């Protein structure tokens, strides 16, 4: 009898954690591909292929009627159109986590949410302190981000024996971190807003909300209003990827039969494309920075601010917020995890990459500033990854 009960409980646990494990496998394995494409971009940008690489990225591609002014460069299409799909998937993931996943209950969310907030505030403060009074201060949002794919990829490789609770904690933290980054982009990294165009975009998103309330399960109407919102935001001065994440959070879910919901269907179909195609293409287009500046780029106020923010601010903010909650009794340590392993997860949170590169492109119009930011993000992410690996590999030596 007891065996049957244990078997039933085990099956229920596996059923509940299956979506997370699928997500974890996608993100973890895509991190390796992402790394390969980032290295390829660096090679292309620093060899004889540099002129061809830059020429391709700056090639203009016109789509749609000329009246829409969509004669954009390849780089622009990648960062504003292709990444809108990436952000759409993030919107789906955020909604799923809050409805069905690790962020469903207050007791489950208080730790990753607080850790994510701490991991955003402290890096931003450190960057701002270094760049205070300079025109580089606009990059304060760069070290706030955590790259899910890279951080989970390294966790899967370097800490395969770590408890599942640590992977769940890091995943939930990174998802909240993404939400925070999206809010920062929406509020602080938009300028010259056209309120007329913004109004059209909001009306389009209202249309998606109405479709949701009418229980529409056909994706085409959502796609139609989503394209209108994307175009409207593009012309409004609001970064159009915001339309992607907003639309993702408006896709209907089914509490009674999650696996048959439109949200589950779209996430299942699009997550591999996001992980294995969109993110690597983004890395290939954005990680290619010349390293002529060398140490001068890294030791600039931008570089110091980013490296301090990601390598020190991230683990300090994540672990600091977590330990405060533990001390106050508001949260418990992830099951089976140690303080050292939590510190390792905090260090892996300092791998910014995708979202950090994205924010850097919004923060700096100056090509030199952007180049300094990119090389510093790459260095900081590598250092954070190495530190995280060292902590996890030596965690067995400590009992705490």
For residue range 325-382, list pLDDT tens digits in order.
Answer: 999 988 888 888 888 999 999 999 999 888 898 899 889 989 889 989 999 999 999 8
Alpha-helical (H) ranges within the chain are 2-45, 50-58, 74-76, 83-99, 106-131, 148-158, 164-188, 195-213, 219-236, 241-250, 262-273, 279-286, 295-298, 301-307, 314-328, 339-348, 353-363, 367-394
- Annotate 166-222 with three-state secondary structure: HHHHHHHHHHHHHHHHHHHHHHHCCCCCCHHHHHHHHHHHHHHHHHHHCCCCCHHHH
3-state secondary structure of 227: helix
User: Which CATH number do you get for residue 265?
Assistant: 1.20.1530.10
With a cut of 90, say whether residue 7 has pLDDT above it: no
With a cut of 90, say whether residue 240 has pLDDT above it: no
Q: Mean pLDDT throughout 218-241?
A: 90
**Is residue 101 in some structural domain?**
yes
pTM for the predicted model, two decimal places? 0.80
With a cut of 90, say whether residue 121 has pLDDT above it: yes
CA-CA distance, 354 to 151, in Å (whole number)? 11
pLDDT in tens, 34-61: 888 888 998 998 888 889 999 998 888 8
pLDDT band at 19 (very low <50, low <70, confident <90, very high): low
What's the pLDDT score for residue 195? 85
With a cut of 60, say whether residue 6 has pLDDT above it: no
Between 55 and 260, where is the model more confident?
A: 55
**Is residue 232 in some structural domain?**
no
Q: Mean pLDDT throughout 215-244?
A: 90
Highest mean pLDDT among 54-58, 127-131, 192-196, 241-245: 127-131
> Largest Cα–Cα distance of the chain, in whole Å?
71
What's the pLDDT score for residue 204? 95
Q: Which long-range contacts (CB under 8 A, 24 or more apart) does 229-235 make?
A: 229/201, 229/202, 229/204, 229/205, 230/81, 230/84, 230/201, 231/68, 232/197, 232/198, 232/200, 232/201, 232/204, 233/197, 233/198, 233/201, 234/80, 235/69, 235/194, 235/197
**Is residue 278 in some structural domain?**
yes
**Is residue 123 in some structural domain?**
yes
**Is residue 222 in some structural domain?**
no
The DSSP call for residue 105 is: S
What's the pLDDT score for residue 122? 96
Q: Considering its fold, how many domains does the chain have in total? A: 1
What's the pLDDT score for residue 114? 93
**Is residue 281 in some structural domain?**
yes
């Amino acid at each position: 009898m007891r065996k049957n009960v244990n078997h039933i409980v085990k099956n229920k646990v596996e059923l509940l954690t299956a979506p997370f494990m699928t997500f974890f496998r996608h993100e973890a394995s895509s991190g390796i591909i992402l790394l390969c494409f980032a290295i390829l971009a660096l090679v292309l940008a620093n060899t004889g292929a540099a002129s061809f690489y830059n020429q391709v990225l700056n090639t203009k591609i016109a789509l749609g009627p000329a009246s829409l002014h969509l004669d954009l460069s390849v780089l622009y299409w990648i960062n504003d159109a292709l990444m809108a799909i990436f952000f759409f998937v993030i919107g789906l993931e955020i909604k799923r986590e809050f409805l069905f996943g690790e962020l469903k209950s207050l007791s489950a969310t208080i730790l990753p949410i607080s850790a994510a907030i701490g991991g955003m505030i402290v890096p931003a403060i450190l960057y701002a302190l270094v760049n205070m009074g300079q025109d580089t201060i606009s990059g304060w949002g760069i070290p706030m981000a955590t790259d899910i794919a890279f951080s989970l990829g390294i966790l899967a490789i370097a800490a395969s024996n770590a408890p599942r609770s640590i992977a769940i904690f890091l995943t939930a933290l990174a998802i909240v971190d993404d939400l925070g980054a999206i809010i920062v982009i929406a509020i602080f990294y938009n300028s010259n807003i056209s309120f007329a165009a913004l109004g059209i975009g909001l009306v389009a998103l209202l249309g998606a909300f109405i479709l949701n309330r009418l229980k529409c399960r056909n994706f085409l109407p959502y796609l139609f209003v989503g394209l209108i919102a994307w175009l409207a935001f593009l012309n409004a001065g609001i970064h159009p990827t915001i339309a992607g994440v907003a639309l993702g959070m408006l896709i209907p879910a089914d509490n009674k039969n999650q696996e048959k919901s439109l949200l589950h269907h779209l996430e299942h179909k699009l997550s591999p494309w996001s992980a294995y195609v969109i993110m690597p293409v983004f890395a290939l287009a954005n990680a290619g920075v010349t390293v002529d500046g060398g140490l001068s780029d890294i030791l600039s106020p931008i570089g110091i601010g980013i490296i301090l923010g990601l390598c020190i601010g991230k683990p300090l903010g994540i672990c600091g917020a977590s330990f405060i909650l533990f001390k106050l009794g508001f949260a418990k340590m992830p099951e089976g995890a140690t303080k050292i392993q939590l510190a390792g997860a905090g260090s892996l949170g300092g791998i910014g990459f995708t979202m950090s590169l994205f924010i850097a492109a919004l923060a700096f119009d100056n090509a030199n500033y952007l180049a300094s930011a990119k090389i510093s993000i790459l260095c900081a992410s590598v250092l954070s990854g190495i530190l995280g690996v060292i902590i996890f590999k030596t965690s067995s030596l400590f009992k705490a």
